[in-house]
Amino acid sequence: MQFVNADHPITFRAVQQEAKLMPKAIVKFVYFVEKINYFFGRIAMYGIFLMIGVLFYSTISKTFFNPSLWTLEMAQFLMASYYLLGGAYSMQLGDHVRMDLLYGQWSPKHRGFSDSITSFFLVTYLIFLLYGGIGSTQYALKYGETSYSSWAPYMAPIKLIMVFGIALMILQTIATFFRDVAKSRGKTLEGEPLAETYEEARPTI
């Protein structure tokens, strides 16, 4: 049996680096979640064109024909589906809006530590949101809930999309949390070293 201690710096450093690596199961989980959210996020991207088409048809029908009852609400449903299904993908890309007063000047390790705390609170919030969404969806399915508009569509489909989108967001937040924990240790999820300072991490133009 070989013992390792700080008196053997090379061996001890190797053990320290190994300890900073994420378990393979976590790495596979992150890759799996990000692959799913990439798939649904890319599909959701094209939902904006459907919404534009509906609104364009609404404009034409109001101008030349009888106004349609369904166009405005359908556009709202498409918009809701767009950001519910695309939210996790947007988080994966780091494209969510954030208040950047001090964050932009921090080192990657400090950013990772801060983001890991934020991810923890975000997961907590999303779990409560998912709980409420499931209850609302069950009500819509059980009682055939409809909108109060003149069109009066069933609300269950958009609520099912809502629950699915929130679930994707929870999974992506957990995956992002693991990436942030790795960053706080000075490593990427794959074990590659991060830049130590803000200037080193800053992209060159």
The rounded distance, in Å, linking the Cα atoms of 60 and 187 is 55
Predicted local confidence at residue 196, as pLDDT: 59
Global pTM reads 0.78
Predicted local confidence at residue 186, as pLDDT: 79
Predicted local confidence at residue 102, as pLDDT: 74
What residue ranges do the domains of the chain occupy? 23-201
Which one-letter DSSP state was computed for residue 36? H
Question: Residue 23's Cα: distance from chain center in Å?
Answer: 22
Structure-token match 């969806």, residue found: 137
Predicted local confidence at residue 195, as pLDDT: 62
Predicted local confidence at residue 20, as pLDDT: 56
The first and second tokens of residue 121, run together, are 């609170």
CA distances from 87 to 3, 44, 174 (A): 48, 9, 14
Predicted local confidence at residue 131, as pLDDT: 96
Print pLDDT tens along the chain (205 aa): 443 444 444 443 443 444 457 788 999 999 999 999 999 999 998 888 999 999 999 888 888 888 788 888 999 999 999 989 999 999 888 877 766 777 777 787 878 888 888 888 999 999 999 999 999 999 999 999 998 888 889 999 999 999 999 999 999 999 999 998 888 887 778 777 766 554 444 444 3
